[in-house]
Amino acid sequence: MSAQFLQFLFAGLTVGAIYALAGLGYALVYSASGVINFAQGQFVMLGAMATVGLLGAGLPYFAAVPVAIIITIVVGMLAEKLAVRPAHGSSIVTLIVITLGVGELIKGSVQVVLDRSTHTLPSIGGGGTVDIAGAFISTQGLWVIGVTFLCVLLVGYFLNSTLTGKAMRAVSCNRLAAQLVGIKPDRMLLMSFAISAALGAIGGILITPISFISYDSGTMIGLKGFVAAALGGLGNAPGAIVGGLVLGLLESFTAGYISSAYKDAVAFILIILVFFVTPNGLFGAKSSERV
Protein backbone atom coordinates (compact mmCIF):
# COMPACT_ATOMS: atom_id res chain seq x y z
CA MET A 1 0.00 0.00 0.00
CA SER A 2 1.64 3.20 -1.16
CA ALA A 3 2.24 6.05 1.20
CA GLN A 4 0.22 8.30 -1.06
CA PHE A 5 -2.77 5.98 -0.84
CA LEU A 6 -2.49 5.95 2.94
CA GLN A 7 -2.32 9.73 2.95
CA PHE A 8 -5.52 10.03 0.95
CA LEU A 9 -7.16 7.36 3.06
CA PHE A 10 -6.36 9.17 6.22
CA ALA A 11 -7.42 12.57 4.88
CA GLY A 12 -10.67 10.99 3.76
CA LEU A 13 -11.34 9.47 7.16
CA THR A 14 -10.58 12.77 8.84
CA VAL A 15 -12.97 14.89 6.83
CA GLY A 16 -15.36 11.94 6.72
CA ALA A 17 -15.49 11.98 10.49
CA ILE A 18 -16.79 15.54 10.44
CA TYR A 19 -19.40 14.64 7.84
CA ALA A 20 -20.32 11.68 10.02
CA LEU A 21 -20.87 13.93 13.03
CA ALA A 22 -22.99 16.33 11.00
CA GLY A 23 -24.83 13.42 9.41
CA LEU A 24 -25.52 11.94 12.82
CA GLY A 25 -27.00 15.29 13.84
CA TYR A 26 -29.34 15.22 10.83
CA ALA A 27 -30.29 11.61 11.57
CA LEU A 28 -31.18 12.31 15.20
CA VAL A 29 -33.35 15.32 14.41
CA TYR A 30 -34.98 13.62 11.46
CA SER A 31 -35.83 10.49 13.35
CA ALA A 32 -37.29 12.47 16.24
CA SER A 33 -39.44 14.71 14.07
CA GLY A 34 -39.23 14.10 10.35
CA VAL A 35 -37.59 17.50 9.98
CA ILE A 36 -34.41 17.95 7.97
CA ASN A 37 -32.54 20.61 9.85
CA PHE A 38 -30.83 22.58 7.10
CA ALA A 39 -29.16 24.66 9.80
CA GLN A 40 -27.03 21.71 10.93
CA GLY A 41 -24.00 22.95 9.00
CA GLN A 42 -24.22 26.28 10.77
CA PHE A 43 -23.92 24.48 14.11
CA VAL A 44 -20.57 23.16 12.91
CA MET A 45 -19.49 26.66 11.93
CA LEU A 46 -20.86 28.20 15.10
CA GLY A 47 -18.95 25.87 17.41
CA ALA A 48 -15.70 26.75 15.71
CA MET A 49 -16.34 30.48 15.34
CA ALA A 50 -17.56 30.80 18.91
CA THR A 51 -14.33 29.20 20.08
CA VAL A 52 -12.39 31.66 17.92
CA GLY A 53 -14.29 34.55 19.45
CA LEU A 54 -13.85 33.35 23.01
CA LEU A 55 -10.13 32.78 22.50
CA GLY A 56 -9.94 36.27 21.08
CA ALA A 57 -11.69 37.58 24.19
CA GLY A 58 -8.99 36.08 26.33
CA LEU A 59 -10.39 32.75 27.48
CA PRO A 60 -7.94 29.86 27.61
CA TYR A 61 -8.54 27.00 25.18
CA PHE A 62 -9.80 24.46 27.71
CA ALA A 63 -12.49 26.94 28.80
CA ALA A 64 -13.35 28.35 25.39
CA VAL A 65 -14.16 24.96 23.90
CA PRO A 66 -16.86 23.84 26.38
CA VAL A 67 -18.37 27.34 26.49
CA ALA A 68 -18.52 27.42 22.70
CA ILE A 69 -20.20 24.03 22.66
CA ILE A 70 -22.72 25.22 25.24
CA ILE A 71 -23.42 28.35 23.20
CA THR A 72 -24.10 26.19 20.16
CA ILE A 73 -26.37 23.90 22.16
CA VAL A 74 -28.33 26.87 23.43
CA VAL A 75 -28.68 28.27 19.92
CA GLY A 76 -29.82 24.87 18.70
CA MET A 77 -32.44 24.62 21.39
CA LEU A 78 -33.66 28.16 20.72
CA ALA A 79 -33.94 27.32 17.04
CA GLU A 80 -36.11 24.33 17.86
CA LYS A 81 -38.31 26.21 20.28
CA LEU A 82 -38.77 29.42 18.36
CA ALA A 83 -38.66 28.34 14.76
CA VAL A 84 -39.31 24.65 14.34
CA ARG A 85 -41.88 23.92 17.03
CA PRO A 86 -44.34 26.66 15.99
CA ALA A 87 -44.34 25.14 12.54
CA HIS A 88 -45.07 21.63 13.74
CA GLY A 89 -47.37 19.89 11.30
CA SER A 90 -46.58 22.23 8.44
CA SER A 91 -45.61 20.88 5.07
CA ILE A 92 -42.14 19.57 4.37
CA VAL A 93 -41.47 22.57 2.22
CA THR A 94 -42.34 25.02 4.99
CA LEU A 95 -40.02 23.22 7.37
CA ILE A 96 -37.19 23.15 4.84
CA VAL A 97 -37.53 26.89 4.30
CA ILE A 98 -37.70 27.59 8.04
CA THR A 99 -34.54 25.66 8.81
CA LEU A 100 -32.81 27.35 5.88
CA GLY A 101 -33.86 30.66 7.39
CA VAL A 102 -32.55 29.68 10.81
CA GLY A 103 -29.26 28.75 9.17
CA GLU A 104 -29.04 32.13 7.46
CA LEU A 105 -29.83 33.83 10.74
CA ILE A 106 -27.04 32.00 12.55
CA LYS A 107 -24.65 32.73 9.72
CA GLY A 108 -25.63 36.39 9.65
CA SER A 109 -25.32 36.74 13.39
CA VAL A 110 -21.80 35.31 13.40
CA GLN A 111 -20.97 37.77 10.64
CA VAL A 112 -22.17 40.63 12.80
CA VAL A 113 -20.76 39.53 16.13
CA LEU A 114 -17.43 38.37 14.79
CA ASP A 115 -16.36 39.02 11.22
CA ARG A 116 -16.13 37.64 7.70
CA SER A 117 -12.49 36.58 7.83
CA THR A 118 -11.08 33.11 7.79
CA HIS A 119 -9.82 31.83 11.10
CA THR A 120 -8.07 28.85 12.57
CA LEU A 121 -7.79 27.19 15.94
CA PRO A 122 -4.83 25.64 17.71
CA SER A 123 -4.29 21.95 17.15
CA ILE A 124 -4.88 19.76 20.17
CA GLY A 125 -1.66 18.87 21.95
CA GLY A 126 0.34 21.30 19.90
CA GLY A 127 0.09 19.73 16.48
CA GLY A 128 2.73 18.06 14.40
CA THR A 129 2.78 14.97 12.23
CA VAL A 130 3.38 11.31 12.68
CA ASP A 131 5.01 9.01 10.16
CA ILE A 132 2.93 5.90 9.53
CA ALA A 133 4.24 3.62 6.80
CA GLY A 134 5.68 6.53 4.87
CA ALA A 135 2.58 8.70 5.04
CA PHE A 136 2.64 11.90 7.07
CA ILE A 137 -0.43 11.96 9.24
CA SER A 138 -1.28 15.01 11.31
CA THR A 139 -1.87 14.46 15.01
CA GLN A 140 -4.92 16.70 14.76
CA GLY A 141 -6.33 14.28 12.25
CA LEU A 142 -5.83 11.47 14.74
CA TRP A 143 -7.65 13.52 17.33
CA VAL A 144 -10.51 14.13 14.89
CA ILE A 145 -10.96 10.45 14.26
CA GLY A 146 -10.52 9.53 17.90
CA VAL A 147 -12.91 12.10 19.32
CA THR A 148 -15.49 11.33 16.65
CA PHE A 149 -15.28 7.66 17.51
CA LEU A 150 -15.78 8.52 21.16
CA CYS A 151 -18.79 10.72 20.37
CA VAL A 152 -20.33 7.97 18.30
CA LEU A 153 -19.88 5.51 21.15
CA LEU A 154 -21.41 7.93 23.62
CA VAL A 155 -24.40 8.65 21.41
CA GLY A 156 -24.85 4.95 20.79
CA TYR A 157 -24.74 4.23 24.49
CA PHE A 158 -27.18 7.04 25.14
CA LEU A 159 -29.67 5.82 22.55
CA ASN A 160 -29.46 2.17 23.45
CA SER A 161 -28.82 2.00 27.15
CA THR A 162 -30.30 5.07 28.82
CA LEU A 163 -33.97 5.63 29.46
CA THR A 164 -33.96 9.07 27.83
CA GLY A 165 -32.23 7.72 24.78
CA LYS A 166 -34.74 4.95 24.44
CA ALA A 167 -37.51 7.49 24.84
CA MET A 168 -36.04 9.40 21.89
CA ARG A 169 -36.04 6.27 19.81
CA ALA A 170 -39.61 5.59 20.83
CA VAL A 171 -40.70 8.98 19.57
CA SER A 172 -39.01 8.38 16.26
CA CYS A 173 -40.75 5.04 15.85
CA ASN A 174 -44.24 6.14 16.75
CA ARG A 175 -44.90 9.58 18.14
CA LEU A 176 -48.42 8.90 19.32
CA ALA A 177 -47.61 5.65 21.05
CA ALA A 178 -44.71 7.33 22.81
CA GLN A 179 -47.03 10.09 24.02
CA LEU A 180 -49.44 7.53 25.32
CA VAL A 181 -46.80 6.03 27.55
CA GLY A 182 -45.95 9.41 28.99
CA ILE A 183 -43.05 10.54 26.83
CA LYS A 184 -43.12 14.17 25.77
CA PRO A 185 -42.21 14.32 22.08
CA ASP A 186 -41.47 18.04 22.22
CA ARG A 187 -38.92 17.47 24.94
CA MET A 188 -37.32 14.70 22.86
CA LEU A 189 -37.20 16.95 19.83
CA LEU A 190 -35.55 19.67 21.87
CA MET A 191 -33.02 17.16 23.09
CA SER A 192 -32.31 15.90 19.60
CA PHE A 193 -31.58 19.47 18.52
CA ALA A 194 -29.33 19.95 21.53
CA ILE A 195 -27.35 16.80 20.84
CA SER A 196 -26.98 17.48 17.14
CA ALA A 197 -25.86 21.03 17.90
CA ALA A 198 -23.22 19.66 20.26
CA LEU A 199 -22.03 17.09 17.72
CA GLY A 200 -21.82 19.76 15.06
CA ALA A 201 -19.91 22.12 17.31
CA ILE A 202 -17.42 19.43 18.29
CA GLY A 203 -16.90 18.62 14.63
CA GLY A 204 -16.26 22.25 13.81
CA ILE A 205 -13.76 22.71 16.62
CA LEU A 206 -11.94 19.53 15.61
CA ILE A 207 -11.60 20.27 11.91
CA THR A 208 -10.76 23.97 12.02
CA PRO A 209 -7.05 23.51 12.80
CA ILE A 210 -6.84 21.50 9.56
CA SER A 211 -9.18 23.28 7.16
CA PHE A 212 -9.89 26.71 8.72
CA ILE A 213 -13.29 28.28 9.19
CA SER A 214 -15.22 31.40 8.28
CA TYR A 215 -18.79 32.57 8.68
CA ASP A 216 -19.89 30.95 5.43
CA SER A 217 -18.13 27.57 5.81
CA GLY A 218 -21.23 26.07 7.33
CA THR A 219 -23.29 25.77 4.16
CA MET A 220 -21.10 23.29 2.31
CA ILE A 221 -20.41 21.20 5.40
CA GLY A 222 -24.10 21.12 6.16
CA LEU A 223 -24.99 20.00 2.67
CA LYS A 224 -22.38 17.27 2.75
CA GLY A 225 -23.54 16.18 6.19
CA PHE A 226 -27.00 15.86 4.73
CA VAL A 227 -25.61 13.76 1.89
CA ALA A 228 -23.98 11.53 4.50
CA ALA A 229 -27.26 11.12 6.34
CA ALA A 230 -29.19 10.47 3.14
CA LEU A 231 -26.63 7.92 1.99
CA GLY A 232 -27.16 6.00 5.17
CA GLY A 233 -30.92 6.29 5.00
CA LEU A 234 -32.45 9.37 6.59
CA GLY A 235 -33.02 8.80 10.27
CA ASN A 236 -30.62 5.87 10.42
CA ALA A 237 -27.88 6.89 12.88
CA PRO A 238 -25.25 4.23 12.17
CA GLY A 239 -26.01 4.66 8.46
CA ALA A 240 -25.23 8.37 8.69
CA ILE A 241 -21.84 7.62 10.20
CA VAL A 242 -20.97 5.12 7.51
CA GLY A 243 -22.32 7.56 4.93
CA GLY A 244 -20.07 10.31 6.25
CA LEU A 245 -16.96 8.17 6.15
CA VAL A 246 -17.77 6.87 2.67
CA LEU A 247 -18.29 10.41 1.42
CA GLY A 248 -15.07 11.63 2.99
CA LEU A 249 -13.10 8.80 1.44
CA LEU A 250 -14.65 9.27 -2.00
CA GLU A 251 -13.88 12.99 -1.87
CA SER A 252 -10.33 12.40 -0.81
CA PHE A 253 -9.62 9.82 -3.48
CA THR A 254 -11.30 11.96 -6.12
CA ALA A 255 -9.18 14.93 -5.12
CA GLY A 256 -6.07 12.81 -5.10
CA TYR A 257 -6.46 10.72 -8.20
CA ILE A 258 -8.88 12.60 -10.44
CA SER A 259 -9.21 16.31 -9.86
CA SER A 260 -9.16 18.35 -6.71
CA ALA A 261 -11.28 21.04 -8.35
CA TYR A 262 -14.25 18.76 -8.64
CA LYS A 263 -14.06 17.10 -5.26
CA ASP A 264 -16.97 19.17 -3.99
CA ALA A 265 -19.10 17.86 -6.79
CA VAL A 266 -18.65 14.29 -5.58
CA ALA A 267 -21.15 14.65 -2.78
CA PHE A 268 -23.89 15.95 -5.03
CA ILE A 269 -23.33 13.58 -7.90
CA LEU A 270 -23.29 10.76 -5.37
CA ILE A 271 -26.53 11.74 -3.74
CA ILE A 272 -28.33 12.13 -7.03
CA LEU A 273 -27.16 8.65 -8.06
CA VAL A 274 -28.14 7.17 -4.72
CA PHE A 275 -31.61 8.64 -4.93
CA PHE A 276 -32.25 6.70 -8.07
CA VAL A 277 -30.62 3.44 -7.13
CA THR A 278 -31.70 3.12 -3.52
CA PRO A 279 -34.05 6.01 -2.71
CA ASN A 280 -34.03 5.22 0.96
CA GLY A 281 -30.27 5.22 1.20
CA LEU A 282 -27.95 2.28 1.55
CA PHE A 283 -29.46 1.13 4.81
CA GLY A 284 -32.79 2.89 5.01
CA ALA A 285 -36.19 1.29 5.39
CA LYS A 286 -38.73 1.31 2.62
CA SER A 287 -41.57 3.75 2.97
CA SER A 288 -44.90 3.86 1.19
CA GLU A 289 -47.88 6.10 0.81
CA ARG A 290 -51.29 5.09 2.02
CA VAL A 291 -53.81 5.11 -0.78
Partner 1 sequence: MSGDTYRVAGLILALIAAYFVIPDAFVMDLWIRIMLISVVVIGLNLLFGYTGQISLGHAGFIGIGSYGSAIMTAHLQIHPVLGLLAMAVATGFFAYLIARPILSLKGHHLAMATLGIGVIVTIVLNNETAWTGGSDGLVVEPLRLFGGPIYDGGQWYVIAAGMLVVVVWGALNLVRSPAGRALRAIHGSEIAAQVAGIDVSALKVRIFALSAILASVVGSLEAHYLGFISPGTAGFGRSILLMTMVVVGGMGSVFGSILGAAILLLLPQVLAAVSVWETAAFGIVLVATMIFMPRGLVPTIGSLVRRRAR
Span from 68-76, 140-148, 160-168, 275-283 in contact with partner 1 (CB under 8 A):
275-283
Residues 234-253 close enough to bind partner 1 by CB under 8 A: 234
Cα–Cα distance measured from residue 227 to residue 218, given in angstroms and rounded to the nearest whole number: 14
Question: Rule CB under 8 A: is residue 269 a binding residue for partner 1?
Answer: yes
Indicate the residue among 202 and 255 with the shorter CB distance to partner 1. Answer: 255
Q: Which of 196, 190, 200, 199 is nearest to 151 (CA)?
A: 199
Chosen residue from 67, 70, 100, 147 binding partner 1 by CB under 8 A: 100
Chosen residue from 3, 63, 74, 112 binding partner 1 by CB under 8 A: 112
Chosen residue from 59, 70, 83, 147 binding partner 1 by CB under 8 A: 83
Chosen residue from 2, 4, 90, 118 binding partner 1 by CB under 8 A: 90
Question: Rule CB under 8 A: is residue 279 a binding residue for partner 1?
Answer: yes
Span from 105-113, 175-183, 201-209, 236-244 in contact with partner 1 (CB under 8 A):
105-113
Question: Rule CB under 8 A: is residue 92 a binding residue for partner 1?
Answer: yes
**Shortest spacing between CB 182 and partner 1, in angstroms:** 29
Question: Rule CB under 8 A: is residue 118 a binding residue for partner 1?
Answer: no
Question: Rule CB under 8 A: is residue 32 a binding residue for partner 1?
Answer: no
Indicate the residue among 16 and 284 with the shorter CB distance to partner 1. Answer: 284
**Shortest spacing between CB 98 and partner 1, in angstroms:** 5
Binding residues for partner 1 (CB under 8 A): 36, 83, 86-87, 90, 92-94, 96-98, 100-109, 111-112, 219, 223, 226-227, 230, 234, 261-262, 264-265, 267-269, 271-272, 275-276, 279, 289, 291
